[in-house]
Structures are given as C-alpha cells and as structure tokens.
Homo-oligomer: A and B are copies of this chain.
Amino acid sequence: MIQHPSYTVEPWRLRETELNFDILGQSESVFALSNGHIGWRGNLDEGEPHGLPGSYLNGVHETRPLPYAEAGYGYPEAGQTVINVTNGKVIRLLVDDAPFDLRNGHVRDHERILDFRTGLLERRVEWESPGGRVVRVRSTRLVSLVQRSVAAICYEVEAVGADLRVVVQSELVANEALPQADDDPRVSAVLEAPLRSEEHSGRAAGAVLVHCTAVSGLRLAAAMDHQVDAPPSAQETVECFEDLARYTVTAELKAGERLRLVKYVAYGWSHARSEPAVRAQVEAALTAAAQTGWDGLAGGQRAYLDDFWERADVEVEGDAEVQQAVRFALFHVLQAGARAEGRAIPAKGLTGTGYDGHAFWDSETFVLPVLTYTAPEAAAHALRWRRDTLPMAQDRARQLGLEGAAFPWRTITGAECSGYWPAGTAAFHVGADIADAVTRYVNATGDLDFEKGVGLELLVQTARLWRSLGHHDAQGRFRVDGVTGPDEYSAVADNNVYTNLMAQHNLRSAAAVAERHADESRAYGITEEETASWRDAAEAMFIPYDEALGVHSQSESFTTHQAWDFANTSPEQYPLLLHFPYFDLYRKQVVKQADLVLAMHLRPDAFTDEQKARNFAYYEALTVRDSSLSACTQAVLAAEVGHLELAHDYLAEAALMDLDNLEHNTRDGLHTASLAGTWVALVAGLGGMREHDDTLGFTPRLPAGITRLCVNLSVRARRLRIEITADGAAYRLLEGDSLRILHNGRPVDVTSGKPVVLPVLKASSDAPPGQPPGREPARRRT
C-alpha cells in the first residue's frame, strides 16, 4: 500500500500537516481553487517560496510561433500557451522587522485544509520570526462557484505572547517571475512577462490593473478591494504601478490581538471589449462581491456544493484512500468545469501550465461522462464550446482536404496547436469522441433542445469527416487508413479498432439524429442520400481481427509486429517516450494507454464476452501506462471480465495519480482526466455502468477490499442511487419518474421510494493476466 506522507486520509477533506518544501509544486496543484473561469494555484499567501506561481483565466493565452526543422503543408504556424495572469492572491506580512517567510525563523505549526464541502482552502500557521516574535496567521481562500468573476481571501494575523507591529501588504502582481521550465516536452513552454500594462489606478482600499497580451491581443483586468478589522491605530495606504498594485495596512498588535483583512478580487477579460468596458466589468463584480461580503460568499459556496454532493456523492467503504480520492476527484472535476461557460476544460483544468493549458479529447472521453451524470449543465457548456469552435474545425477540415469538421488535437481557442501531426492531427478520433459525448449527454438528460440546437450540428459535421476520411475497398469494407488511435505508442496506422468503432457510432448517431430533426437537417444540406451513405459506411466498417490469436488487432497488422523487449527495459526507461524514438515505439507491440481496451469500454456491444476476456489479457501484457489516461479504463475492463482485485488496484492508481504524484508531474497541474477516471473506475468499473442507447445498464460487483459502494447519479431529471455490497445491489430512485435500467443485462424498473435489491455476480476464478515487468498497478509495485 502506498502511503502519501504529506496528506492525511480523511473522507471529506485534504489536509496537510507540515510544509514540505520538496513538494511545494504538487501541493500548489492539489490545493488549487477554481470555478472553471478563474484558477488560483495553492500558492502560499506571501508568494514565496513557491513551486510555480499560478493565476489563470480560462481562455487567456499568448500566441507563439510553432517552429519546424522541416515544415510541411497544413502544419499549424501558431501555438497557444496559457499565461500566468495578474496574481491577486498575494498578501505579504512584515512582523516587526522580519518578513513572514517560512524559509526563515521557525514554523511552530502548519496546517492546510481543502474542504470538499465548504469549497474553502484554509491555512493555519504559527511562526516564530528569526528575532523571536511569534504570530499566528490564518487565511481562508475561495474562488466563488456562484459569482464566477470573484475570488476572496480572509486573512487574520494574531500577535502571540508579546506585542508587535505588523505590516500587511495585499497586492496585485502582473508579470511575476516564473521558474525555468525543464526539457520535458510535456512541460509547458513558459512565457516571460506576457502582459503589457494599459491602465493602473488605485482608490480607497483597492486598485485595478488592466493589461493586454502582445500577440493574441487579449485584454484583462484584475481589481481588488479590502475590508479591514484592526486596532484603531491601524493605517492604510494604496500604491499603484503598471505591474503592481499594493494595499498596505500597518498596525501595532498587543499580545492576543488580531488584524483581520478580507480581500476581494475580481477578474475579467475579453478579446473585443475596450479598456473602459473591461475595467468597468471587474469593478462591478468587485462591488457585488463586497456587497455579498465574506460570509455571503462562503455561504454561497457551501450551498452550491451541498447541492452538488447531494446529486453526485460517491461513498466507498473499506478503502479510505479511495473514499477521499473520489471526493477529491469530483471536487476538482467540478472546479474545472463548473463555470467554464463558453470555454474549454483543459487537461490540467486551471491548476497549472502543463500541456500549455490545452484541452484534448480526454475532456469529452473522461471528464464529460462524470459531469454528464453529476453536473450535466457543465457538460452541456463544454459541448457548446466545441459547437462554437466549429467554424475553425471546418476550416481545418477543408485545409486537410476533408469534409465536415476536423477538431483540433490540442487547443485553447479551437485552432489546431499540435506541432507533431502523427500524434496530433492524425488522431481524428477526437471528432468521434465529441460525437459520443453529445450522444451520451442527450441520452442521459433527454435534452432534445440541446440535441437540435447543438448536438445535431456537431454530429453532422463529425460524420461528414468520417465519410470523407474513409473509403470502401475492393471487398466493400469501409477503411480508415493512416490515422492515430488513443495509444500514442502507435501512430498513422490503418483501421484502428477504437477509431473505427467510434466512427461507426458517430455515423449512426448522426444519421439517427438527422432523421429526428428533419427540418434542421435540411438547413445543413443533409439529404437522404447522405444519411444513407453514413449508415452504409457504418455497416461496412472494417474491424481488424486476428483469427490466429483470437484477439482484435489494435490496428491492422499490429499483432504481427515485434513485441517490445520488456525484459531488457529498465525501470528508469519509463516513460518510454523519453528514452526511445517514436519510430521504435510505433513499430512494435507496446501500448502507452488503453486503446483497444477503451474501445471495449465505450463500444461494449461490438465484442463478445469471450473476446473481451481474451483482448483484455492480450493488451494487458503490452500496456505500460505511460499515460494517466489508462488505469481507469483498465479498471473498467478488469472489472467487466471479473478480475475485481486488479480492477481495485487500477482504480487506486487512477485515484492516487495526483495525491501520490505517481507521474512525478503533478506540480504542472492536476490530471483532470485521471481524476475523472476515479469516478469512471468506480461507476463503470465496479458499478459496471454501460450506456445502451438511452438505457443505462449495471453489472455491479465489489473486490474484497471495498465493502460498500454507493453512487448517486442524475439521469433524465431523476436522481438514482445505487448501493452495492457483497450481498447485492440496491437501486433507489430519489427523485423523478420510474426508470428502466439493466441489471446484469436484464431490464429492471426502478420506481420512486421502493429500492430494488438484486444479487451480484461473483468474481472470475481465473488468474488475472499479467502486466509488463515492473508495470503492475502502482499499489502492486511496492
């Protein structure tokens, strides 16, 4: 069992009991606050020491050229990188003559708590200065889920044991110095001083800074206001410069006396609005925040989260780490998407600069399934963002010689930013992933207005892409050649099973939805011939299968390739992409992340039970999980084929990815999709939840180490609660009309008030398949 020494295991909160400078970056990520619009890393109030200072606004980025040693047609010329915006978190403290800096003096006591129910990050420190003065500092921070432009901090300092003078400096800081990025290509390119000052002005107890970005031409404003509760002797001043605004309050505190400061921060940005307009917008938000007040903001946060947990909580008995981790995961997934409204959900949420702040397919494939059943309005917003980017995706398709829409592999605005096409643009499955998320959302919510107004267009344009990307061969099979599936250790291969099955689903869904909304379909120029051609292509879709081995070939010919030489690969050579050339990875049987196995999760209808078991065993032996997008899917299929202990271990790996820093890069931001995967591993894995058109199916069963699993889901305006133990599964409808589900493949009607209790299956008695040496799930490795 892995221990995470830094954080205690508690069901409803994440608590740090000592300040370990070595994991500052990781702690900043796990303690990050966000509402999907604003993101504040869990930096210390006083700014230093830090791993990576980080304040982000969803969509605020700088544009940079993408260089190529040898350029090619259709290579994107411009990249996008999330930038560190004006930091409104900073509150510095001078204790007599000593700056409050935990690297000096003596930390007598330290605690930080992220509470998943209050949504507050609390910090308590008792510190003795080098000169022997002692203060107790308590700060509480929130990024409001209710007022999306607002964040706030309640900061208290208390003189302990003796009188002393304190100076509190609350700041807005633009263009903070950032640490150098390392050579790992996964680490974001750091842009220095990206903000140009446009306006700075102070007022009574606050200030506003307006900046713009040099190339992307975005304008952003940050404003702060303060309410202070201090001894009468206290004095306050405001200073303001281009990149720094500072509110200072000085007070002499008697022993036991406190100074309390509430800081309100408001952010706004626009690519179009004028400087006065953006400035007015943040000042308005600030005024509203001050009127709501600290208690009002904190109360609103609690109410928002109470509602969320009532709809979304997952209870796990028997594995306290997983219990904590799934709530940590749900909290951060909510934070990433709650108020993104019109913007993407990046791979790291707004918790760090990893992957340049880009959004990928994992948003639709891993994050949206969670939001669809727990906070469906956030899922709808994320898909509306994709719809809004359709003009860019259609332009890209035209540039690539294709019909319909080619969504970007990685992006902030919707424009393709992938600088290596074999692992970027060629991964066309992103289109089918978006279509799948649309279908899932509509099936789960019954929201036909969304289907008509947003979903139809996304389905049609992605279906057109597939129809033009594939072709019928001499045997009439519909082939999709030369594309890249989810597994990034293969690329540019023919007939990737995942891609072809998802494309098949995409084509069928598009045809069905186009028929359902005939009037709107005509507006998109869809004819009966076109929908027929989609159905034909879907019907004839080529799915490679290796008869000799009795398994599906991840892509055509994959199973004929040389097996990776795992025996001669040392533990230090993982992740393989940092130690072996792509050409070698691509040409051998080695799998970075679930690909065929993910196909079995998302297209369960396309495989027999026997194929699932054989395929899982075959790919299990080849999958190294150099991607965080794998463990949860392996958990799902391990559970389906009956290897429940293995499923539990994979669940734990997904769950502890960031809390245990398993990939050693949590400092760059949280693995949002892996966090979502914790829920997926529990609900689709142990709960066995699958989507069969508009009916949800469950095949629940638990490993020995989990004695009870209770899941709350929102489905079609109903609230469904499933409680699973070793003895059986109880389905209970908490709200809404009766609902037909499948339990172990058989239809069951669940009606309000009357729980339906049904028996669960046993685990498989077969020995579970093995992994490549040293690539067992994290818990098994120690």
Contact = CB atoms under 8 A, between A and B. Distances in A.
23 contacts: A67-B67, A68-B68, A69-B75, A69-B76, A69-B419, A70-B185, A70-B423, A70-B424, A72-B581, A73-B579, A73-B581, A400-B583, A401-B584, A426-B583, A471-B562, A474-B548, A474-B560, A481-B587, A491-B492, A492-B492, A492-B586, A492-B587, A557-B557
B71 A583 contact: no
A580 B73 contact: yes
Contacts of A399: 581
A579 B399 CA distance: 9
Interface string A532-561: 000000000000000010000000110011
Contact of A400 (B66, B68, B584): B584
A69 B79 contact: yes
Contacts of A464: none
A492 B483 CA distance: 12
A505 to B, nearest CB: 22
Given A70-B424, A74-B580, A400-B584, 7 more contacts: A68-B68, A69-B76, A72-B581, A74-B581, A400-B581, A481-B557, A494-B557
B479 A582 contact: no
A567 interface: no
A71 B578 CA distance: 10
A583 B425 contact: yes
Contacts of A183: 71
B581 A419 contact: no
Q: Can you list the 5 inter-chain pairs with the closest CB atoms, starting with the nearest?
A: A69-B419, A482-B587, A67-B67, A74-B581, A66-B69
A562 B69 CA distance: 30
A559 to B, nearest CB: 9
A72 B185 contact: yes
Nearest to A419: B69
A581 B67 contact: no
A568 to B, nearest CB: 10
Contact of A425 (B68, B71, B580, B581): B581
Interface string A474-511: 10000101110000000110100000000000000000
A181 interface: no
Interface string A455-471: 00000000000000001
A460 B588 CA distance: 25
A182 interface: no
A483 B583 CA distance: 8
Contacts of A482: 561, 583, 586-588
A418 B76 CA distance: 20
Interface string A335-359: 0000000000000000000000000
A583 B471 CA distance: 15
Interface in A699-713: none
A419 B586 contact: no
A473 interface: yes
Contacts of A491: 492
A185 B481 contact: no
A74 B68 CA distance: 16
B583 A421 contact: yes
Contacts of A79: 69
A399 B183 CA distance: 18
A400 B556 CA distance: 25
Interface in A22-53: none
B473 A560 contact: yes
A774 interface: no
A401 B474 contact: no
Contacts of A580: 73-74, 401
Contacts of A769: none
Contacts of A578: 73
A669 to B, nearest CB: 18
Contacts of A73: 577-582
Interface string A416-454: 001111111110000000000000000000000000000
A560 B479 contact: yes
A63 to B, nearest CB: 13
Contacts of A560: 473-474, 479, 481, 494
Contact of A185 (B71, B471, B483): B71
Contact of A420 (B72, B185, B548, B587): B72
Nearest to A66: B69
Name the residue in A562, A580, A581, A588 with the highest tally of chain B Cβ atoms < 10 Å from its Cβ: A581
A68 B423 CA distance: 14
Interface in A391-416: 399-401
A424 B421 CA distance: 15
A422 B582 CA distance: 9
